[in-house]
Amino acid sequence: MKVIFISDVHGSMMAIKKALKAVEQEKADQIVLVGDLMYHGPRNPLPEEYAPADVAQLLNTYKNKIIAVRGNCDSEVDQMLLDFPMMADYTVLQTEGQYFYITHGHLHTPMDPPALPKNAIFVSGHTHLPVAEKEGDLFFFNPGSVALPKGGFQASYGVFEGNTLTVKDFNGETIKSTTLD
């Protein structure tokens, strides 16, 4: 199973189009949205091609492939535009023997994760910084931001396939990667 992780769209139609093109090119089985889908937030600049309602409409065409969690910029009003649930603070995905704890990262953070099984994968967004690493008994994975990357990184998305977590830019180049050994 191939899973694509998309985070921090912040209402950018340009960014979600690129991300969904990557979903198609990667032939993803599942899409995980890691929060901050439509609103840009008071601390962020307006992203390019800001069109939250259009972003919602486009995401709805993928509703049968999407698992989503709420980000700190998401609200009940946003949920009203979506045909899939996105108001949970976290969700768990278990696939191919892997346990993914998925949250936006503004409540539980990599610095303060909940109790998780050994070798679980803590997936978060929020920081807009790509991460793919093991620390102690946990793996930490952040796909970065498709719309408003920070830290000098390119816009990026995450991929889980086989036993590998990879963060890629929209040219398909690997930014960060780790194996689940």
What is residue 177's predicted lDDT score, i.e. its pLDDT? Answer: 98
What is residue 43's predicted lDDT score, i.e. its pLDDT? Answer: 82
Q: How many CB atoms lie within 10 A of CB 61?
A: 10
3-state secondary structure of 3: strand
What is residue 139's predicted lDDT score, i.e. its pLDDT? Answer: 98
What is residue 92's predicted lDDT score, i.e. its pLDDT? Answer: 97
Rounded to an integer, what distance in angstroms lies between the CA atom of residue 101 and that of residue 92?
5
Q: What digits encode the pLDDT tens for the residues 36-52? A: 999 988 888 889 899 99
Alpha helix stretches (DSSP H) within the chain: 13-26, 52-60, 76-81
3-state secondary structure of 133: strand
Q: Are 160 and 42 in contact (CB under 8 A)?
A: no
CATH assignment at residue 97: 3.60.21.10
> Could you say which residues of the chain have pLDDT below 70?
none
Q: What digits encode the pLDDT tens for the residues 159-173? A: 999 999 999 999 999
Q: Are 139 and 165 in contact (CB under 8 A)?
A: yes
By residue range, what is the domain housing residue 132? 2-179
Q: How many CB atoms lie within 10 A of CB 95?
A: 12
Rounded to an integer, what distance in angstroms lies between the CA atom of residue 168 and that of residue 176?
7
Question: pTM score, two decimals?
Answer: 0.97
What is residue 42's predicted lDDT score, i.e. its pLDDT? Answer: 83
- 98-103 and 121-123 strand pairing: parallel
Nearest to 100 by CA among 120, 127, 73: 120
What is residue 96's predicted lDDT score, i.e. its pLDDT? Answer: 83
- Domain count for the chain, please give it: 1
